[in-house]
Amino acid sequence: MNVAAERIERLHELARAAAASGEDDRARYYVRLARRVAERNRLTLPRQFRRFTCDSCDAYLRPGKNARVRLQDGHVVVTCDCGAHARYPYQE
C-alpha cells in the first residue's frame, strides 16, 4: 500500500472514531481530508469509506444515529440526516 492509501485508511479510522464519540464536525473534517488525498493522488476511496460517508455533506454515517438504512428492490438505501440518499446493490 502506498503512502496516500495508508493516509486515507488512517483518516478513515479517525473519522470513524470521531463519529463514534459524537464529534460529527471532526469526523466530517477527516472525511474531507481523506477525499482530498484520494483526489490528489487519483486513488479510489475504499468501498467501506464510500459506504459510510455522505457524498453531499461529507458526514461519517452511523446507521441509527445520523443515517437511516433501508432495503428497497434489492438495493440498500442510505439516507443521511442532510437528506441525501445513496443506493447500493444489496449483493456486493
Nearest distance in Å: CB 37, Zn ion: 20
Nearest distance in Å: CB 54, Zn ion: 3
Q: Is 56 in the site for Zn ion (CB under 5 A)?
A: yes
Q: Is 67 in the site for Zn ion (CB under 5 A)?
A: no
Residues 48-69 as b/e (b if ≥16 CB within 10 A, e otherwise) read ebeebbbeebbbbbeeeebbee
Q: Which of 17, 33, 77, 84 binds Zn ion (CB under 5 A)?
A: 84
| Contacts to Zn ion by CB under 5 A | 54, 56-57, 59, 80, 82, 84
